[in-house]
Amino acid sequence: MEKHYLNRKLIILGLFVLIGFIFVIRLFYIQVVAEKYILSATNNVLRYITQYPGRGLIYDRKGKLLVFNEAAYDMMVIPMQVNAMDTAEFCRLLEIRIEDFRDRLNKAQRYSSLKPTVFESQINRENFGALQEKMFMFNGFFVQPRTLRKYTYPIAAHMLGYVGEANPSVIAGDPYYKSSDYIGISGIEKSYEKELRGRKGMKIRVVDVHNRDMGSFQKGQYDTISVAGKDLWSSIDADLQLLGEQLMQNKKGSIVAIEPSSGEVLCLVSSPAYDPNLLVGRIRNHNFSTLSEDSINIPLFNRALMATYPPGSTFKTANALVGLQEGVVTANTRYGCPGGFALGNGHVVGCHEHSGPLDLIESIQYSCNTYYCKLFKSILEKDGFYATDEDFNKWRNHILSFGLGKRLGLDLPSELSGNIPSSAYYDKYYGKNRWRSLTVISLAIGQGEILVTPVQLANMTAVIANRGYYIIPHVIKGLGKPNSVKSTYMQKHYCSVDPNYFDVVVEGMEQVVLGGTATNARLDSIPICAKTGTAQNPHGDNHSIFIAFAPKENPRIAISVIVENAGWGSSWAAPIASLMIEQYMNGVVKREELKERMMNGNLIRK
């Protein structure tokens, strides 16, 4: 019996010894072996400094540097470490008020007394030089290196975009971002954020009780290096973009130019514009507020992608192609024009004076409204007077295949879809089977409910230049290296019109410049094919619109120009487009008088 109790006693004693041994081993591992616990125990004398990578650079199509990085610094604060200091001198160096100092310190304290918080962001190199010599006087404060975006030229702000602090919703949705991190807010900076941002690193520094840097922790073995973002090669021609912005100064509107064979955007002008350097650094918030409050010019609004307009007579090119495809006209179909198209009840779609009757080529050359009202009526009555709904849907599907009425899928944010009205819309508005071709006859001449964006108009022009297809427009042609475009932007999208029908329309567009409504756009050395448009505007004067491509064979540029409240398409949009084509094709503009006249025109009414 005694032997039984002795055995039990030995077993219990053995268990206690084993447990004690396990604890001793564990304590030895934690205190001596495991360096991560050493690291944790010494956190009160360590400073963790995020190493922010340089964002990728952005070049134009010829290799000109458009966007680069410049050194900047964030003043960080750890509230618990702040003690008595020369507050007045600190505020003088940072160029802030004493009241700002107190407010920011209280805000940082509410966030965390132990964690570093940004006290003043984006200090430039000049101010940092004076500050650096006196940092030892300010316990609890330290400087963290950053970079700021800088722009070589004051152009392409809407395309390039800008960078700002990540908001709470972004931080909550993506673990990469922390408070005070920067992120692309608009333009290329937003679309290609993941490629541009790179990867953050971390440095761990030892500091003494006086906030002085004593060197790296553990000889830097826990440090990680940052990796710079990828460089991007844009499709933009900087010289063409600059000229476009000069020509559109003191005007509202846009210029979009595309290389038809590749879909590469050669310029993307939205006017009024602004210098992208205004939204960089400590002046950003003030400048952003000023730009946002400009209700007359609305300079932050990207008209090239977001403004919608009736295309006016430029739309006749698409209707001509649909008419040819549907077999309701041929190149030789002639219509007379008595000065307009009568709708009945005294209503007439008016037309300007020209000779007649006109065939299809001449109808484009002289932009005859009557011809296109008759053509459109024939399309919608092809299968009989009571089959309007079905024939309308056929017409609409053809038009959609040109890339109109839908987002094209550019590699830029905020693109709008425009509008090609559906039969369901008219059914709802007028009632089922209670509308006919004459009800919607304004669509024949690009008015009514049709709305297009400038980039869609340029893309439609590229479809005609290519004789039947487009490649989705895009502004980046190289990721990490030149000419490495995404596969999405290499695929051809064919419209529903047979390629054989395009030559007739192209011939008509050439005649527009040679002897039609836009002879002022003519260039003796370059055959230009074009179409003028004057879009009715219920809010003021008509908009001047022009589309063109050049040269006629193997075209290198397709362009749309819209100048708001400028009247006839031939008055402002046509000469501006002609100058842009001359610049791109020849590398220089020789018509200085025309250039100066376009640049000096002020069409913004206060």
In the chain, domain spans:
48-234, 238-275+301-480+492-600
pLDDT band at 8 (very low <50, low <70, confident <90, very high): low
- Looking at 55-59, 194-198, 534-538, which range is the least confident one? 534-538
Least confident residue range of 16-30, 74-88, 136-150:
16-30
Residue 6, pLDDT score? 57
The residues pairing with 478 across neighbouring beta strands, listed in sequence order, are 233
Query: Lowest mean pLDDT: which of 48-52, 163-167, 290-294, 389-393?
Result: 48-52
Question: Do β-strands 182-184 and 201-207 pair in parallel, antiparallel, or remain unpaired?
Answer: unpaired
Mean pLDDT of the region 528-550: 91
Q: Band of the pLDDT at 340, cuts 50, 70, 90?
A: confident
Rounded to an integer, what distance in angstroms lies between the CA atom of residue 53 and that of residue 291? 29
pLDDT above 90 as % of the chain = 65
Average pLDDT of span 198-202? 91
- Helices 369-380 and 388-400 pack at an angle, to 10 degrees, of 120
The whole-angstrom separation of Cα 440 and Cα 437 is: 6
Mean pLDDT over residues 508-535, rounded?
94
DSSP-based three-state secondary structure for 148 = strand
Rounded Cα distance between 286 and 110, Å, is 26
The per-residue DSSP string of 57-88 comes to: PEE-TTS-EEEEEEEEEEEEE-GGG--S--HH
What is the per-residue pLDDT for 312? 95
For residue 242, give the nearest of 169, 337, 376, 152 by alpha carbon: 152
DSSP assignment of 300-363 equals TS-HHHH--B--GGGGHHHHHHHHHHHTS--TT--B--SSEEEEETTEEEE-----SSB-HHHH
Return the axis-axis angle of helices 454-465 and 316-326, rounded to nearest 10°. 50
The whole-angstrom separation of Cα 517 and Cα 524 is 17
Half-sphere exposure of 560 (CA within 13 A, CB side): 34
Cα 409 from Cα 416, distance rounded (Å): 10
pLDDT over threshold 80, residue 9: no
R_g of the chain computed on alpha carbons: 33
263: tokens are 């879909």
Q: Which helix (H) or strand (E) element contains residue 108? A: helix 98-111
The pLDDT of residue 134: 86
Is CATH 3.40.710.10 the right assignment for the domain spanning 238-275+301-480+492-600? yes
Residue 14 has pLDDT above 80, yes or no: no
Smallest Cα–Cα separation from 506: which of 466, 557, 561, 453? 466
The DSSP secondary-structure symbol of 167 reads P
For residue 26, give both structure tokens: 């564990």
- Residue closest to 328 by CA, chosen among 289, 382, 408: 382
Q: What share of the chain is helix, strand, coil (3-state, %, to 5)?
A: 45, 20, 35
Whether CATH 3.90.1310.10 fits 48-234: yes
Could you tell me which residue, 29 or 174, shows the higher pLDDT?
174
Q: What is the pLDDT of residue 40?
A: 46
Contact 207, 47 (CB under 8 A): yes
pLDDT value for 586:
95
Position 480 confidence tier, pLDDT thresholds 50, 70, 90: confident
Mean pLDDT of the 461-489 span? 93
- Rounded average pLDDT over 517-529: 94
With bands split at pLDDT 50, 70 and 90, how would you rate the model's confidence at 233?
Answer: very high
Which of 6-10, 243-247, 282-286 has the largest mean confidence?
A: 243-247
End-to-end CA distance of the chain: 111
- Asked if 396 contacts 496 with a C-beta cutoff of 8 angstroms, the reply is no
pTM of the prediction? 0.87
Sign, CA dihedral 175-180-181-182, equals positive
Q: Which tokens belong to 69?
A: 């990085």
